[in-house]
Amino acid sequence: MSTASTPSHLPVEMSDRLGPMLVKELRQGLRTKIFLTAFIGFQAILLLMVVASFVSQGGSASGDFLNNAIWIMLVLMLIVVTPIRGQMALEKEIRSGTLELLQITRLDAWTIVRGKWVALMGEAMLYLTVSLPYFTLRYFLGGVHILTDLGLLALLALFSCSLTAMVIGLSGFRSVLLRIAVALGIATLVPFTISFIAMLRSPYGFFRTLSTTTFADWWPILLGLVIALIVAGWSLLRLGARTIATQAENHSTGVRLLTLVAMAAIVLLDRFAISPTSAFGDDFEAIFILFAMMIYIPGIFSAITDNALHSSLIYIPFIRRRLTPLGRRLLYPGWSSGIFYVALITSMLLGLRMFFEHTEEGITLTLIILNFLLLPAAVSRLLMSKRQIRLLNLSSYIITMVGISIASIVLFITEAALTRGDPTLSALFPLSALIGWDMLDDEMTLGLQFLCLLVSAAVLIPIAIQSFLFIAHRERAARKLFNNEKVAPESDPKPHPKDTGS
């Protein structure tokens, strides 16, 4: 190939330490009209607020006004603008056909997704950085608790990281319903986050008690929240990677292992880290159920909706590590192993709750959530043709879930009206059982939810076994490949320049 005689205008150099995807996303993202408008608008509004606070009021009142303005603007930038920018991240690559060009490079799906996420986080950090002069200005007006504000900034940044990861992870699905749900979810989070920040910044708030003895009550919640946010964000980001991955990539095993470890950590925190004399009493229990669900739901969703088949290549690491058949069955990617994984993790959760002598309500609630996820899987499997039985159909799963939810709500309303507020059948279906929680008999709900779980299991487990038998064929091929590798490791036909270090 001829070499160019005239030097071309090469792009401004960016460090090789930054990943290719990050470099590309930063170059693209920082030039988009949305970012430029949001960035300039953010600065302009803050500047306007500073001027307004000095002109109209004075002293600590103007300080509070400016404080509120900065926090509201930051929440909007980090919780709304940044995640929304990631809403089309993967779908755009799929739709335009550029994803295939990436797949034939050395980039794997995780590198692609992670690069997009880090780039958006870079933009979020820019918003944070440019707000610092305003925080400094606010400091000179007095009445600022530095530790509180720093702690809150860190928490807000973590929340933004997790939320953006979740949105990017879900951006690979081409469901309009999901898009609307995500947008509504983000919209709902804004007032929640603002009031959450206001609560934490109050004189009795969490960060102002750091130096007091009540910190012993708070730290498990903080740790639980950090674990839940990280795991939920990471699991959904991995789910996004899975939606764009080739059959030779495994993005499931890591999520399963992390979910197991995080669930164990949350249970341990709940059991052993909370002071029995805590002033918060049962509130801790509710908060830890919320954290557990933040970890449990993405993990279970990922396992149930996993691809049915993968390339033989992904089984090689399992063969190399000499995992036991049971270990392989649980950690292999694929929805069939996912069903067994769901069974294991849920049994562990229920077992632990029973072991710690918790109330029936906790167990019923866990069953309801499990059935909410498993019943649509069972129904959608039943609706599939025999030919499709080994294949994933995520869309049909989500549609079935929405259909069952609507049917449950209709059932509950009808039954409540017919029985004059004394429904019974509603206890069988997860969503109607949840809505009619106060009206339904506790023992009956528990029993019917167990029945619902058994029905789902009766449908799913035989198909999972059938699917396993099919996977065994791939496993044999993988073993053959592995043995071939051991006998004669194939060398790269043309060593890549990077590998030769030239």
Partner 1 sequence: MTTSTPAIEVSNLTRAFGKVRAVDGLSFQAAAGEVVGFIGANGAGKTTTMRILATLDSPDSGTAKIGGHDVADRPEQVREILGWVPDAFTAYENLTVAEYVDFFARAHGYSGGERRNRIEDVLGFTGLDKLADRLANKMSKGQTQRLCLCRALLHDPQVLILDEPAAGLDPQARVELKQLIRILADDGRTLLISSHILSELGEMCDRLIFIDAGKLLHDGSAEDLLRGAASDRTLVDIRVVPGSGDPTTTLELQPGVEIVEALRSGTRVSLDDDSPEALARLLKQLVGSGLHVTGFHTIERNLDETFIKMLGKANGSVETSPVSTSIPPAR
Which residues lie near partner 1 (CB under 8 A)? 1-11, 16, 19-21, 23-24, 27-28, 31-32, 96-98, 100-107, 246-248, 311-313, 481, 490, 492-494, 496-499, 502
**Assigned token pair, 304:** 């149930």
User: For the residues of 286-322, what is the DSSP string, one character each?
Assistant: HHHHHHHHHHHHHHHHHHHT--S---GGGGHHHHHTT
| Beta carbon of residue 495, minimum distance to partner 1 (angstroms, whole number) | 9
CA terminus-to-terminus distance, the chain: 19
Of the pair 313, 413, the CB lying nearest partner 1 is at 313
Q: Are 336 and 473 in contact (CB under 8 A)?
A: no
3-state secondary structure of 7: coil
Number of CB atoms found within 10 A of residue 127's CB: 22
Q: 3-class SS at 441?
A: coil
Report in angstroms the alpha-carbon separations of 271 from 232, 285, 350. 21, 10, 14
CA distance 411 to 423: 10
Give every CB contact of residue 317 below 8 A, 6+ residues apart in sequence: 250
Rank residues 112 and 155 by Cβ distance to partner 1 and give the closer one.
112
SS3 389: coil
- Find where tokens 């049917």 sit: 407
Q: Which residues of 37-60 are buried (b: 16+ CB within 10 A; e: fewer)?
A: ebbeebbeebeebbeebeeeeeee
CA distance 498 to 45: 48
Output 96 or 347, the one with its CB closest to partner 1. 96
Nearer to partner 1, 116 or 138 (CB): 116
Least CB distance to partner 1 at residue 370 (A) = 33
* Nearest-10 crossing angle of helices 146-170, 176-201: 170
**Taking the CB of residue 74, how many other CB atoms lie within 10 A of it?**
25
Amino acid identity for residue 390 in this structure: R
Residue with Cβ nearer partner 1 (282 or 490): 490
The smaller minimum CB distance to partner 1, of residues 23 and 384, is found at 23
Minimal distance in Å, beta carbon 401 to partner 1? 25
Q: How far apart are CA 182 and CA 170, in angstroms?
A: 9
Whose Cβ is closer to partner 1: residue 103's or residue 209's? 103
* CB 229, min distance to partner 1, A: 30
In the complex, the smallest distance separating the C-beta of residue 67 from partner 1, rounded to whole angstroms, is 36
Instruction: Kindly state the smallest distance separating residue 144's Cβ from partner 1, in Å.
Output: 39
* Residue 98 CB, nearest approach to partner 1 (Å): 6
Closest approach of partner 1 to the CB of residue 243, in Å:
15
For residue 38, the minimal CB distance to partner 1 (Å) is 15
